[in-house]
């Protein structure tokens, strides 16, 4: 039987009613659809925000240094000479001499944290908010490996001739085409002279039961593990692998778990030394000189007899920086021996600039003979650079280290 | 829902049935804000928690995937820290309640006749907020340091062994959590106790109830909304706190909480999926605990 359109007015009304209902449903469906679309939009947004994207060769930003006389420089705390009013005398000298206005930010507190903050911009070759930054050499090695930094024009840095030979050819950047050291230092051991009158000679002395619960170590994996590996006879510069690291890890874990090591910290370890929560620590060379100057001459630093680590905080210019020539100008300025000496007299770290020692003789002969600022050949022989790790090793070793730090 | 705990006890008036487009328009900025700053990050977090590492990739390189093992890995590695977080948060909440209730009762009930004293004491409760949370926590670290007065005193009266210490122990972390969240407990308690009708207490006494029974049967039930909002305002942030337990503040490697594990995975290891998975676990557990708590202690059957 063929269907006829209904004619009964009541049925017609019922149909109209059901159609209206359907429309309403369709409407609500479309509203749900809209919500779905909004959700999808948010998802896409999120994906865009966190996707790593395809790796492509980054290109340097166009250098506008010639017209824009500005420079933003991110650096670590207490790494620039400072007068009583909080001004930076050497930096003011540079601004007067070059006419480049420098915004100096104390923005680096930790290599990993700083990297975590800027890594997305770095990976896209975008401006990270700084034209140049000083990071520790192993982190610089990572930036170099990923192609995140611009190559330096040595013609703009004639003072590079003053670069000390011991810093000229790191394994990640032979000939310093992409990076230039700012200041360096050693990790070694230090102790409170009143509480540990006999002093310490080696990392093993830190594990003396008399110091139980009074030892601090650094949360910088390469320094703490580096010193322990050296004390176990491993050459940290050369060929070593998982086994050597595991041995050092065992020793480290044992000392943390039995309570010998009180705490594992970054820059905060100085507070513990000062409040005498710790009597001895693995520490950074320049800090102890500064601490003695501000809190009474109470601490002594030594490179352990099995050797210490040597590290460098190093200038790089990220791909997104549009002021590379200005950055090169500031590097060139700090490679003047006189400027380097003035800086070193304040920050107390190892200067990579040849001739600074002679310049220092004029400022303060006592500092000029300080092995922690101007190490001679025999001192340099006792300190070693932790070899560059592959990404897989870095992930693995850092994870093991953090596992102990979190007690998990 | 958890948020009914914060609602007032007044009877809810029937909302007007008329559809109001103005209301929707007024809601728009709020909704846009929530979508942009809550929903989008949350979805991003969920997606991140399922990411997988790029084969032979550099540190911190992950790609979209559905690696649910991130959750089992995170829990397998960090379950003691998750438990510890909620244990610490629970103890700190109970301690904060025990400390805050008498304070709030005194300010809100006993000091009613002296408005000046009342406002002075309230100012004292809020005063710590004038100084940064970090600085106050660091100050406690100094006070509790090995050569500081507290440790020396405790050693003198032989409560603490001669090689004992306070900083870096569970004690100092719970102490820090309690201390830092006391104002969050005191203020809501004060807000409800301030409205407490003391005639009920008199009536209870007239009916031969002992002071303790009056407190248990009258005062506590009437201040329940304050107790619930206070405990929520303390427990939730305390469970996710990573400052007090941080090695740079009052903690050590034996007191790490889940927040410290998230921080280490996110900032140091650049293991974003594990950090995201841990964050989601933390959120989910808090939601469940708070949901159960509010259902059990809900205000609806107390009035």
Residues 139 to 178 of A: which have CB under 8 A from any B CB? 142, 145-146
Question: Average per-residue pLDDT in chain A?
Answer: 86
Using CA atoms, how far apart are residues A264 and A283, in angstroms rounded to an integer?
Answer: 11
| CA-based nearest distance A109→chain B, Å | 12
Inter-chain CB proximity A112 and B60 less than 8 Å: no
CB proximity list for A99: less than 8 A, separation 6 or greater: A69
Cα gap A28→A35, rounded to integer Å = 10
User: What pLDDT band is residue A46 in, cutting at 50, 70 and 90?
Assistant: very low
Q: Please list every residue in chain A whose beta carbon sits closer than 8 Å to the beta carbon of residue B41.
A: 46
pLDDT band at A289; cut points 50, 70, 90:
confident
Which chain A residues are closer than 8 Å to B256 by Cβ? 405-408
Shortest Cα–Cα distance, A396 to chain B (Å) = 9
Q: Which of A315, A308, A265 is nearest to A137 (CA)?
A: A315
Facing residue for A402 by CB, picked from B48, B58, B269 = B269
pLDDT digits (tens, 9 = 90+) for A145-193: 999 999 999 999 999 999 998 888 888 999 999 999 999 999 999 999 9
What CATH number matches the domain at A185-310+389-406, 3.90.1150.10, 3.40.190.10, 3.40.50.300, 3.40.50.2300? 3.40.190.10
User: Do A112 and B41 lie within an 8 Å CB cutoff?
Assistant: no
Q: Which residue did the predictor score with more confidence, A55 or B124?
A: B124
Domain boundaries, chain A: 70-182+312-373, 185-310+389-406
The answer on pLDDT for B236 being more than 60 is: yes
- Candidate from A46, A110, A113 with C-beta closest to B40: A46
For position A19, what pLDDT does the model report?
A: 57
The rounded distance, in Å, linking the Cα atoms of A169 and A361 is 28
Closest chain A C-alpha to B124 CA, distance in angstroms: 29
Question: Which of the two residues, A242 and B56, has the higher pLDDT score?
Answer: A242
Q: Counting Cβ atoms within 10 Å, is residue A116 exposed (0-12), middle (13-18) or buried (19+)?
A: middle
Among the partner-chain residues A38, A119, A264, the one whose CB lies closest to the CB of B253 is A264
Give the CA distances from residue A88 to residues A71, A83, B65, in Å, rounded to whole numbers and listed in that order. 15, 6, 49
Residues 106-135 of B with CB under 8 A from A: none
Establish if B240 touches chain A: CB-CB under 8 angstroms: no
Q: CB distance from A106 to chain B under 8 Å?
A: no
State the pLDDT confidence band at B17, using cuts at 50, 70 and 90. Answer: low
Burial of residue A259, with CB atoms counted within 10 A of its CB: 0-12 exposed, 13-18 middle, 19 or more buried: middle
Assess whether the region A70-182+312-373 and the region A185-310+389-406 belong to the same CATH fold. Answer: yes
**CB contact at 8 A, A275 and B148:** yes
Q: What is the pTM of this model?
A: 0.82
Task: Give the pLDDT confidence score for residue A362 in this predicted structure.
Answer: 87
Q: For chain B, percent helix, then strand, then coil, each to nearest 5?
A: 70, 0, 30
* Nearest-CB residue to A402 (from B61, B138, B264): B264
- Residues of chain B neighbouring A115 (CB-CB closer than 8 A): 270
- In this model, does residue A6 exceed pLDDT 90? no
Segment of A6-20, B7-21, B51-65 carrying the highest mean pLDDT: B51-65
Q: What are B71-102's pLDDT values in tens digits?
A: 999 999 999 999 999 999 999 999 999 999 99
ipTM surpasses 0.85: no
- Residue A51 binned pLDDT confidence (cut-offs 50, 70, 90): very low
What's the whole-number mean pLDDT along residues B11-26? 71
For chain B, list the domains and their CATH numbers.
Answer: 68-296 (1.10.3720.10)
Cβ–Cβ contact A404 with B under 8 A? yes
Radius of gyration of chain B (CA): 23
Mean pLDDT of chain B, nearest integer: 89
Give the span between the Cα atoms of B258 and B83, in whole angstroms: 9
| Phi, psi values for residue B78, rounded to 5° | -115, 15
Residue linked to tokens 């359109």: A5
Task: Give CA–CA dist B226/B222, Å, rounded.
Answer: 9
What 8-state DSSP symbol labels residue A117? Answer: H
| DSSP letter assigned to residue B218 | I
pLDDT at B295: 84
Could you name the CATH architecture of A70-182+312-373? 3-Layer(aba) Sandwich (3.40)
């Amino acid at each position: 039987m063929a269907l006829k359109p209904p004619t009964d007015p009541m049925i017609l009304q019922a149909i109209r009613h059901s159609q209206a209902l359907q429309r309403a449903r369709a409407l609500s469906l479309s509203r749900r659809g809209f919500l779905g679309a909004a959700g999808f939009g948010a998802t896409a947004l999120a994906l865009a925000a966190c996707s790593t994207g395809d790796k492509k060769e980054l290109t340097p930003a166009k250098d506008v240094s010639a017209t824009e006389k500005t420079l933003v420089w991110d650096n670590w705390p207490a790494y620039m000479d400072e007068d009583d009013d909080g001004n930076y005398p050497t930096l003011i000298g540079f601004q007067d001499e070059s006419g480049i206005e420098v915004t100096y930010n104390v923005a680096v507190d930790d290599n990993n944290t700083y990297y975590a903050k800027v890594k997305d911009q770095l990976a896209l070759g975008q401006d990270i908010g700084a034209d140049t930054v000083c990071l520790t050499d192993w982190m610089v090695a990572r930036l170099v490996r990923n192609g995140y930094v611009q190559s330096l024009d040595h013609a703009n840095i004639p003072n590079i001739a003053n670069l000390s030979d011991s810093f000229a050819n790191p394994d990640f950047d032979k000939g310093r085409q992409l990076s230039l050291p700012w200041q360096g230092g050693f990790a070694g051991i230090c102790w409170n002279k009143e509480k540990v009158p006999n002093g310490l000679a080696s990392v093993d002395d830190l594990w003396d039961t008399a110091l139980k619960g009074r030892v601090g170590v650094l949360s910088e994996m390469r320094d703490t593990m580096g010193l322990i590996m050296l004390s176990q006879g491993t050459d940290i510069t050369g060929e070593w692998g998982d086994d050597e690291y595991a041995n050092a890890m065992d020793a480290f874990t044992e000392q943390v778990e039995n309570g010998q090591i009180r705490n594992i910290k970054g820059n905060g370890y100085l507070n513990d030394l000062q409040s005498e929560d710790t009597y001895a620590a693995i520490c950074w060379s320049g800090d102890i000189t500064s601490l003695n100057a501000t809190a009474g001459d109470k601490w002594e630093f030594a490179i352990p007899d099995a050797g210490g680590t040597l590290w460098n905080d190093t200038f790089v210019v990220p791909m997104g920086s549009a002021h590379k020539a200005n950055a090169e100008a500031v590097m060139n300025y700090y490679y003047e021996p006189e400027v380097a000496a003035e800086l070193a007299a304040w920050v107390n770290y190892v200067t990579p600039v040849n001739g600074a020692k002679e310049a220092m003789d004029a400022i303060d002969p006592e500092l000029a003979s300080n092995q922690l600022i101007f190490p001679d050949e025999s001192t340099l022989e006792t300190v070693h650079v932790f070899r560059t790790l592959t990404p897989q090793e870095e992930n693995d070793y850092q994870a093991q280290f953090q596992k102990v730090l979190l007690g998990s | 829902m958890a948020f009914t705990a914060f609602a007032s006890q007044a009877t809810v008036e029937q909302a007007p049935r008329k559809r109001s487009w103005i209301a929707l328009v007024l809601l728009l900025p709020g909704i846009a804000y929530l979508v942009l700053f809550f929903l989008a990050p949350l979805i991003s977090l969920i997606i991140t928690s399922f990411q997988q590492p790029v084969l032979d990739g550099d540190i911190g390189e992950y790609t979209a995937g559905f690696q649910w093992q991130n959750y089992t890995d995170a829990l397998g590695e960090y379950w003691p820290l998750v438990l510890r977080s909620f244990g610490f948060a629970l103890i700190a909440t109970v301690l904060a309640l025990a400390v805050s209730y008498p304070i709030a009762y005194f300010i809100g009930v006993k000091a009613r006749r002296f408005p000046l004293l009342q406002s002075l004491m309230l100012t004292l409760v809020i005063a710590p907020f004038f100084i940064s949370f970090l600085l106050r926590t660091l100050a406690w670290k100094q006070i509790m340091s090995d050569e500081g007065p507290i440790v020396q005193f405790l050693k003198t009266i032989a409560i603490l062994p001669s090689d004992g210490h306070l900083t870096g122990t569970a004690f100092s972390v719970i102490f820090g959590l309690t201390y830092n969240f006391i104002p969050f407990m005191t203020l809501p308690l004060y807000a409800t106790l301030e409205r407490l009708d003391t005639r009920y207490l008199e009536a209870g006494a007239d009916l031969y109830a002992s002071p303790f029974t009056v407190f248990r049967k009258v005062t506590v039930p009437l201040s329940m909304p304050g107790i619930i909002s206070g405990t929520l305002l303390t427990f939730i942030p305390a469970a996710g706190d990573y400052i007090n337990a941080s090695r740079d503040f009052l903690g050590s490697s034996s007191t790490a909480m889940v927040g410290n594990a998230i921080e280490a995975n996110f900032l140091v290891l650049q293991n974003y999926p594990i950090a995201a998975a841990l964050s989601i676990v933390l959120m989910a557990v808090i939601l469940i605990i708070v949901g159960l708590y509010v259902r059990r202690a809900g205000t609806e059957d107390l009035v």
